[in-house]
Structure 1
Amino acid sequence: VKKKINWDETYPCRIMPDGKIRAVGCALAMQGSGIAGLDTASARINLNDDGTYALLIGATDMGTGCDTILAQMAAEILDCEFEDILVHAADTDISPYDKGSYASSTTYVTGNAVVRAATDLKDQILAAAARQLSVTSGRTVAAEDLVLGPKDVTGSGENSDLTISLAAVGNFATISSNQSLTAQATFSSKTSPPPLMAGAAEIEYDPLTGVVKVLRYAAGVDCGTVINPNLARVQTEGALVQAIGMTLYEIVAYTDRGQPQSNSFLQYKIPSRMDVPEMSVEFFSSYEESGPFGAKSIGEMVINTPAPAIANAIANACGARMRTLPILPEHILRETGVLKD
C-alpha cells in the first residue's frame, strides 16, 4: 500500500504550482467474520435425478455474490462443474435456517455449513454407488474404492473398470429406493477470525475553498483465501467509493421542526463517476484454519479505512484534525480559522 500510493514521495504533503496541496494519509482496520457464539447458518444439498445438485441456503445475496461463492464451494467438494449446482436461496418456505446476510458472516458461517453438507452428500453418493455397482458387477465394492467425478462415479485399483453415472445414482435413489440423496448441515462458530486491511489515500486540498478531492486510493486486504477474486475486487472497490461518499459528501439535514431537508439526490450528494479516484486493490491471502477453504469475511471491513485515511490526509495537508463525518469544506475552513462563525 505504501508503495502503491508513493508514500515516501508525498508524505506529509506537497504544495502544487496552483496553490493546492496534495497530501497522503493511511489507516488500518479489522472486522469480524460473523458474531461469535451467535450467528448460525444451515445448508441443504440434494442430488437430483439428472445428476445435477440443488443447493438450498437461507442467506440472501444482496449483490455480494454469495450465491456464486457458495455454489463454488459445493462444486469444489463434489468435484463437479459450477453450472451443475442449482442454488435456491432465501425462500422461507423451503430454505434451511439462517440468521441472515449480516455481520460479514455469509462466506465464513454459511460457507462452512455448505462445505459440511456437501461433504456429507459426497459420502452418501459414494456409498449408494458402491451398493449399485456391487449388484451389477457381482463384486464387493466399497465406497473407499470409488472416486466421485463431474458426471459419474468411477472405480479405482482393482475396480477401475467400473463406472456409473451420477444420473443413474440419483435416479435409482429417488425412484427405486424411495430415498433421495440429501444432506443438511448447520454451522455456528465460537470464534470470529478477523479480516485485515490497510488503506492509504492521496488527496488534493484547496486552502481557499476547503474542497477535498480524493485522487488515488490504495488498499491491501487480507480476507483469508479469496474464493472469487473478481467478486472480492468489485466488492472492495464498491465499498471504497461508498466510504468516500460517507466521508466527504453524504449528509442528512433536518429543519427545526424535524423535517428532512436531504430528501432527494439534489440535496443528498453521493459520489459520481467523476468523484471516483484511481484505485489499487491488492489481496494478501492468509489461510484461516477454521474457514471454508481458508476464507474469512470481507463485507464490512473494506468500508472502514477510507474515512480515517482521508481525515489523516486532511490533517497532513492543513493541520485540521476532523473527527466527525461528513467532512465538508466549511468544516475544514472553520477548523483552520479561515471561516468564522
Structure 2
Amino acid sequence: MSRTDDPDSEDKTTDTEKIAESNPIHWDEAPNNRKAPNERRTVSHSEEKDDAKKIVTGEAKYTADYAREFPDLAEAEVVRSDIAHGVVTDIDTSAAEAMDDVYAVVTPDSPEVPEKPYTSAGQSYPEPSPWDLRVLRRTVRFVGDPIAAVVAEDKDTASKAARKLDVTYDEYDAVFDTAEAMEPDAPQLHSADDVENLQPGADYERNIEAQMSGEIGDVDAAFSKAEESEDLTVIETEWETPYQSHCVPEPHTTIAHRDEDNRYHLISSTQVPYHTRRQLSHLFDVPIRDIQVSKPRIGAGFGSKQGMITEPLTMALTDAADRPVKVETTRREQFHALRNRRPARVELRSVVADDGELEAIDMEAVTNSGAYGPHGMTVASAVGKKPLPLYTHTPNIRYEMTAVHTNLPIAGAFRGYGAPQGHLAVEGHMDEIARELDIDPIDLRSRNVISEGDLEVASGILKDKEYGRRIRSCGLDECIAEGRAAIGWDDVDQPEADHLHRACGMALTIQGSGVPGEELGAAHIKMNEDASFILQTGAVDIGPGADTVMAQIAAEVLSVPPEDVLVQPSDTDISPFDHGAYASSTTYITGQAVKKAAEEARGMLFEFASRMLGEPESAFTVDDGAVISEITGESVSIEEIGYESMYGDEVRAQVMGDASHCTEESPPPFGAQFVDVTVNEETGEFEIHDMVYAVDCGVALNPALVEGQIEGAMHMSYELATGDGITFDEDGQPQTLGFRDYDMPTTADQPPLTSLIVETHEPTGPFGAKSVAEIPVNGVPPALSNAVRRAVGVRIGDMPITPEKIAAALDDD
C-alpha cells in the first residue's frame, strides 16, 4: 500500500535504519492483553455509560450545583474590556463599593491579584506556552480582556455593581489579520520584556509568538527537478479555516474557598486538575500542599477546559471577599472572551510523478493565536505534524509554521488540536493531485499512504533529533473499503434534473494516542468485602464515558461485573496523579495504569486463594467472580477472599493495587471519511445525503461509546465545514454573542450519519485499544470540499462551504 524508503539517499537510509532499530515491529505484549472477541467478558461490550441516567434525570452534580453547600457563598461578575487594544488608565470603583451587599471590588492594583505572568495552558511542566497573561490586565489586547471584578451577595447585585465601574482607556490601533500583523508597521501587542517565552522563533516586534520549520530530504531539489522533468507535476493549493466555538453545554465555573485548615479548595470544571494545582501554586506563591482541586462532573470540555481560565481570578476573589466565591461564565463570555479553535491559513505545494507517487510535500501554516499564546506553538505545529504522517513515505517533506498574535480572542486547545486545519489542506490537496492526473482519489491515496509495519517519521519533522514510530496496527485498507461500500462510491446515481449534480468525496484521517513521552497516568484500586472495588484515577471524564471504560478494563482483569467497579471523580487530595484529559490519552495511558493496578490486585487475590485452598499461586485464574484452580478445579469466590483478607485469622491485608503508566508510544488511530452530496449548479445550494466515517481505533472497548464519539465529532466537523464560525466587526467587536448568532447545526440541519468500527489490535494499548475521541473531527471539511469539487468542478478551500461561495465560484469558472 505504500512505498519503501528512498534507496538513493545513503544518509537517509542510515538514519532510517537507526530509528528502525529502536522501534522494532515486535512488541513484547503480555499474553492476557490479546483476547479473541468471544473471550472478552466486559471489554468490547456496550456497557451503559455509568452516569447516563443521572444526567438525563438531572441528578448529576456539576460545579455550580455545589454552591448550595456554602451558605455564605458570594458570586462574582467580571468586567471586561470593550476595546480591542489599549491601556486602562483609571477605574473608578467608588459607586460600586458604595452599594449594599457588595463584598469586594478588585482591579489589577488590588493586593489579592498577583502581578506575575503565567500561561493558562494546562500542559506538562515546564509549560511550553509563553507566560504572557495576567489575572487582571492593565494593557488590554482584545474585546473581552478581564480588567476588574465585583463580588457580591448574588449574581444580580454583582452585575449591577460591575456596570457602575467607570473605566478610562488610552486606546491604541488594533490589528485583526495575521498577514497584516506581521508587517513592520503593524500595532505591536506584546513586548518581549514583558513575556517569558521559551518557544523558538518568537518575534514580538512582528507579533510572532512562535515560528518553526523542519525538513525531511531535500524539498527545494525536488521542485528544481520538477521544473526540468516532463514526468513530474507541481500542484499548489491554499486553504483557510475560521474561529470555531467549543459550544460546551456547561460554562466554565469555579467555586473557591478556604477550608478549616486554611487551605485553598477549588471545585472546578477543569480537564486538568493536577496541572491547575501546580500552576496556581506558582502564580500565588502558595505551596502545592495548600491547594486542593476537585473535579465534579463536567458538562463537556472539547479542550476548552484544558487550562486555568476561571480558577486564578476565583482564588483571588475568595481572598478579597473573605468568603467562598463562585465565578460562573455567561454564554456570551463563552463565545468571545474565553477560548476557541484558532483560524489557520495553509499553503501546500507538491511534486508528483505521472503514476501518482508523491515526490515532495511543502506545507506552510500561519495560525491566529489571538491576543495571547496558550497552546500557540503546539497547535500550530500539529497542523502539519498530525496529517503529514499519512504520507510519511514521501521522500521530501517540509513543514513551516508561524503562530501570530492579533487583537482577537484567545485561541486555545480544541478537539483535534490543529489536525482539522491540517487535514483540510492535505486531504483537499490530494484530491487536486488526483484531478490533475486523472486518477481516482482513492487509488491515489492507496499508492502513497502509510500502512501496518511502516516506520513513520513525518510526525517528528519539527523535532531537533531523529524520531520515528513503528505502525503496529493500521486498518486503513478496511476503513476505505467499508466506507466506500457504505457511501456507494462506485454507484452514484445522477439526478434527473440537468442542473443537479451528485458526487462523493472522501478524506483519510489520522491522530495520536496521547503525547509520546510526556504523559503519566496512575491508578489505585481497592476491594471491599463484598467483592466490589473502588477505583481511583486522576483522569478526567469530560463526557465521553471514560469512567465507564476504566471500570470495564478493571472488571475484565478481575472477572467481576463492571457495575461492581466504582470509579471516583478526580481530586488532587485523593486521586493518583494524572496529566488530565487531553490529546486522546485517557483510554490509552490511564487505561493501561488501571489494567496494571487491577492485575496487582488480582495477584493478591491469588495469594489469599493459595492460602485458603493450599495450592500454588501459579495455579489460579479468575472467572465469573471466583478464583479457580486450573489444576484441581477447586474455587473460592472473590467475596469470600474479601472477608478473609480483612477479618481472617492468619493474614490480614486489604486487596489493592497501584500502578502508573507512561510511554514513548503514541499509536495513531486511522479513519476514512466519506460524504455524498448533490449540488445545484444554478444556486450553489447543496444537500448532503449521508456522511460515513469508518475508524480503526484498535479494539473498541465500548462500541456504543465509540459510536457516540464518532457521531458527535462528525457533527462538530460538519459545523466547521459549513458554519459561519465566530465573527467580528471592523473594530474587533464580537458579533457572535450566543447560540442564536452562532451557526451550529441543529438536529434538523444535521445530515444522516453512519459510523463504522474496523477492529485491529494495538499491542501497546490496553486490550488492544487506541484512541478515538478526536480523530473523527478531522474529516468532514476536506471530504465535503472534495465532494463539491467532484460534483460541479469548483473548489471551496476557505471554510465554511456555503451556497453563496459555490455559486460565486461557478460564476467565475
Shared fold per TM-score greater than 0.5? yes
CA contact (8 A) 2:671 2:694 kept: yes
Alignment of 1:274-313 (within 5 A): 274-313=748-787
Alignment partner of 1:263 out of 737, 758, 779: 737
Alignment of 1:92-131 (within 5 A): 92-131=572-611
Deviates more, 1:207-216 or 1:312-321: 207-216
Residues 1:152 and 1:264: Cα distance change in structure 2 (over 3 Å)? same
Q: Take 2:581 and 2:687, find their aligned partners in 1: how far apart are those partners?
A: 33
* SS of equivalent residue, structure 2 residue 764: coil
Letter in 2 for 1:109: I
* SS of equivalent residue, structure 1 residue 325: coil
* SS of equivalent residue, structure 2 residue 735: coil
Q: Take 2:620 and 2:791, find their aligned partners in 1: how far apart are those partners?
A: 66
Q: Deviations over 1:39-65 (max 9, x none)?
A: 211111111122111111121212211
Aligned to 1:328: 802
Alignment partner of 1:82 out of 562, 571, 575: 562
Structure 1: where are the runs of 5+ without partners? 135-139
Letter in 2 for 1:170: G
2:645 corresponds to 1:165: no
CA contact (8 A) 2:531 2:639 kept: yes
* SS of equivalent residue, structure 1 residue 36: coil
Shift of 1:215: 1.4
Q: Take 2:746 and 2:785, find their aligned partners in 1: how far apart are those partners?
A: 21
Shift of 1:77: 0.7
Residues 1:333 and 1:78: Cα distance change in structure 2 (over 3 Å)? same
Structure 2: where are the runs of 5+ without partners? 1-482
Deviates more, 1:81-90 or 1:26-35: 81-90
Aligned to 2:618: 144
Alignment partner of 1:28 out of 508, 528, 532: 508
Residues 1:42 and 1:250: Cα distance change in structure 2 (over 3 Å)? farther
Alignment partner of 1:223 out of 669, 689, 697: 697
CA contact (8 A) 2:736 2:742 kept: yes
The two structures have a TM-score, normalised by structure 1, of: 0.89
Q: Take 2:759 and 2:626, find their aligned partners in 1: how far apart are those partners?
A: 34
Aligned to 2:340: none
Shift of 1:188: 1.1
CA contact (8 A) 2:559 2:625 kept: no
* SS of equivalent residue, structure 1 residue 170: helix
Letter in 2 for 1:171: Y
Alignment partner of 2:676 out of 178, 195, 202: 202
Deviates more, 1:190-199 or 1:57-66: 57-66
| Identity value in percent | 34
Letter in 2 for 1:3: A
Letter in 1 for 2:605: I
Q: Take 2:806 and 2:795, find their aligned partners in 1: how far apart are those partners?
A: 9
Letter in 1 for 2:785: A
Deviates more, 1:276-285 or 1:71-80: 276-285
Letter in 2 for 1:192: S
Letter in 2 for 1:4: A
CA contact (8 A) 1:174 1:180 kept: yes
Q: Deviations over 1:216-249 (max 9, x none)?
A: 1122211111111111112111211121111102
* SS of equivalent residue, structure 2 residue 794: coil
Shift of 1:174: 3.5
Q: Deviations over 1:1-44 (max 9, x none)?
A: 1121111232xx94541723222111001111111111211111
Aligned to 2:666: 192
* SS of equivalent residue, structure 1 residue 3: helix
2:650 corresponds to 1:174: no
CA contact (8 A) 1:214 1:275 kept: no
2:486 corresponds to 1:4: yes
Shift of 1:292: 0.8
Alignment partner of 2:707 out of 218, 222, 233: 233
Q: Take 1:110 and 1:50, find their aligned partners in 2: how far apart are those partners?
A: 26
Aligned to 2:173: none
Q: Take 1:263 and 1:210, find their aligned partners in 2: how far apart are those partners?
A: 28
Name the Cα RMSD after superposition.
2.1
* SS of equivalent residue, structure 1 residue 33: coil
Residues 1:2 and 1:164: Cα distance change in structure 2 (over 3 Å)? closer
Shift of 1:332: 2.5
Q: Take 1:326 and 1:157, find their aligned partners in 2: how far apart are those partners?
A: 65
Q: Take 2:788 and 2:615, find their aligned partners in 1: how far apart are those partners?
A: 71
Q: Deviations over 1:258-304 (max 9, x none)?
A: 11111122221111222222222222111111111111111111111
Q: Take 1:171 and 1:260, find their aligned partners in 2: how far apart are those partners?
A: 63
Shift of 1:178: 5.6
Shift of 1:156: 4.4
CA contact (8 A) 1:58 1:95 kept: yes
Letter in 1 for 2:770: K
Q: Deviations over 1:293-341 (max 9, x none)?
A: 11111111111111100010111122222222222232333333369xx
Q: Take 1:39 and 1:209, find their aligned partners in 2: how far apart are those partners?
A: 50
Alignment of 1:60-79 (within 5 A): 60-79=540-559
Q: Take 1:250 and 1:124, find their aligned partners in 2: how far apart are those partners?
A: 57
Q: Take 2:542 and 2:683, find their aligned partners in 1: how far apart are those partners?
A: 39
Q: Take 1:7 and 1:165, find their aligned partners in 2: how far apart are those partners?
A: 54
CA contact (8 A) 1:213 1:275 kept: no
Residues 1:207 and 1:265: Cα distance change in structure 2 (over 3 Å)? farther
* SS of equivalent residue, structure 1 residue 337: helix
Shift of 1:209: 3.0
CA contact (8 A) 2:645 2:653 kept: yes
Q: Take 2:497 and 2:691, find their aligned partners in 1: how far apart are those partners?
A: 23
* SS of equivalent residue, structure 1 residue 245: helix
The two structures have a TM-score, normalised by structure 2, of: 0.39
Residues 1:285 and 1:126: Cα distance change in structure 2 (over 3 Å)? same
Letter in 2 for 1:194: P
Q: Take 2:715 and 2:582, find their aligned partners in 1: how far apart are those partners?
A: 20
Q: Take 1:208 and 1:249, find their aligned partners in 2: how far apart are those partners?
A: 22
CA contact (8 A) 2:539 2:570 kept: yes
* SS of equivalent residue, structure 2 residue 487: coil
Letter in 2 for 1:147: T
Aligned to 1:137: none
Q: Take 1:147 and 1:3, find their aligned partners in 2: how far apart are those partners?
A: 43
Aligned residues between the structures: 329
Q: Take 1:157 and 1:175, find their aligned partners in 2: how far apart are those partners?
A: 28
Shift of 1:190: 0.7
Q: Tell which has more relative contact order, 1 or 2 (C-alpha 8 A, sep 6+).
A: 1
Q: Take 2:630 and 2:487, find their aligned partners in 1: how far apart are those partners?
A: 54
